[in-house]
Each structure stands twice: as structure tokens, then as C-alpha cells.
Chain A
């Protein structure tokens, strides 16, 4: 079953976590980025690791999308920052299905696109970052 457009707008998962100094350090080390700022703030792409850590739920909704996991690829990623993510702060995340559409590729296969948007807010309820993630899977 291809993804149903009726799922657009559904909250996929929510969760909160504290930005751990060691997690930030190991993420920066894996990128080989030795920026001394990382004692206090996280690297620009750190939200992708934090989202995985903070939002363990949502798997059922994700499976309900019916994407083909064998052909699933990360097509696009976008981050918008109100301010940097700080080491030691607790952020609350909400992930939502923003769009679902399909395209036909040059070989005539149908590609399913699912756009997921995640918002990270601080403990005062103020937005810190937005993430937009486009997943693509080929229908078989």
C-alpha cells in the first residue's frame, strides 16, 4: 500500500531529551569537526542525531505510511535555526507528516515522497530549530 494522503498533518511523534555533552562530542568527532564551540553548542546537523534520541515513538505511524524500506532513501534535509542548540538544555520535539506525493522517474517507476517536519522548542516553549526531511521510496 502506498502512503495515503490522508496522513498529511498527522503528528508522527513527540518527545523530549536533554542535549548531552558526550553525545554532542561523539557526534562532532564522527564528523572530524574540532570546533571548540562544541563545549557549549551543538554542530549544525546535530538535530538529526538528537531527533533519533528524543523521538523513539512514532514507529507505528511510520510503518502505516507503507514505505518500502529496501528502497527508502533520504532525499533532502533542511534545517532552520532560531538559535544554536545548547549543550545541557532540554528540548521538546514534535514531528509531523507535512506532505505526501508521488512522482514517476525516467525509468517509469513510481517514487513515493514523504515530507516530515520537526520542531524543537526549549523549556520556555520558544522555538529553537525546524527540520524538514524528505524521504523517497521506490514502489515495487
Chain B
């Protein structure tokens, strides 16, 4: 369900989107589709040599999940105006990502209601992984 432009207010929560658990296959499919050849996300040996416990998810995979979360909250891709994310912590195979957000400001502009949101992803442990902001036009 998209946000309702008539009732949206500071503090309104965006409908949470929870994605299926990330697997190594998810990463093997995302990399080529996004044109990202970085072996860090698919090659265990490479990731270990770089000092990580193993492969980890592309930050842009989680940001892509946030994109789906936002177009659903906004009622369409065209209503997503601005979208920013900081990749604060790594997301790993096995993690279940939930996209969440709350409205931080609402203003009228050109017949539209512009809605600023604080958005983030968190995993099953409740740890925030990527944090950002978005502006939706309702």
C-alpha cells in the first residue's frame, strides 16, 4: 500500500518491505545484471585474501531493495524523486533484509505533496546496514 497524500505526516511509517534471505546465488545473479565484476561478492578466496570472513553482498543490491520499497510507498517509480544511501555496514549471505522508513518532513510544491523520509535497511538481528534519505512526490 502506498502512502496516502491526504494523511501523510511527520512520523508516518513507510510500509516495511522484507526480502527473501540473501544467498550466494543472489550475489552471482546481481553482479552480472548490474555490470559489477568485483570478485569480492562471489569469490570466497578473494574475499578472504582481502581480509574479510567471506563474500558479502553488493551495497547496491540492498539499495535496489530500498528502491522497490520506495516505489511501493510512493505509488510508482515516477514518484521517487531523490534517493540517497550510505553503506554503513556489510550485509552477508544468509541475511534477511527489511527496508524501513519514517517521514521526516512534508511540504506542498506545484500541486504535489513532497515527502522527505529517513530510510534504512536492517537485518534479522535488528542491525541497521545502510541508512539514507529519500524524497517522494505524492
Spell out A's residues near B (CB within 8 Å).
26-27, 29-33, 35, 37, 41-45, 48-49, 52-53, 70-71, 73-81, 83-84, 132
Contacts and interface: CB of A to CB of B under 8 A. Distances in A.
Interface stretch (B2-10, B66-74, B108-116, B120-128): B66-74
10 closest A-B pairs by beta carbon, nearest first, are: A52-B35, A44-B67, A30-B33, A78-B84, A31-B64, A33-B68, A49-B34, A30-B30, A45-B67, A45-B64
Nearest to A132: B84
Q: Would you call the interface of chain A mostly helix, strand, loop, or mixed?
A: mixed
Nearest to A51: B35
B33 A79 contact: no
A96 to B, nearest CB: 18
A77 B82 contact: no
A37 B88 CA distance: 30
Interface of B: 19-20, 26, 29-30, 33-36, 50, 59-61, 63-68, 70-71, 76-78, 80-87
Contact of B60 (A77, A80, A84, A132): A77
Contacts of B66: 45
Nearest to A71: B50
A52 B70 CA distance: 23
Contact of B63 (A26, A33, A37, A45): A45
Contact of A48 (B60, B77, B78): B60
B83 A78 contact: yes
A83 B61 contact: no
B29 A30 contact: yes
Contacts of B20: 32
B34 A27 contact: yes
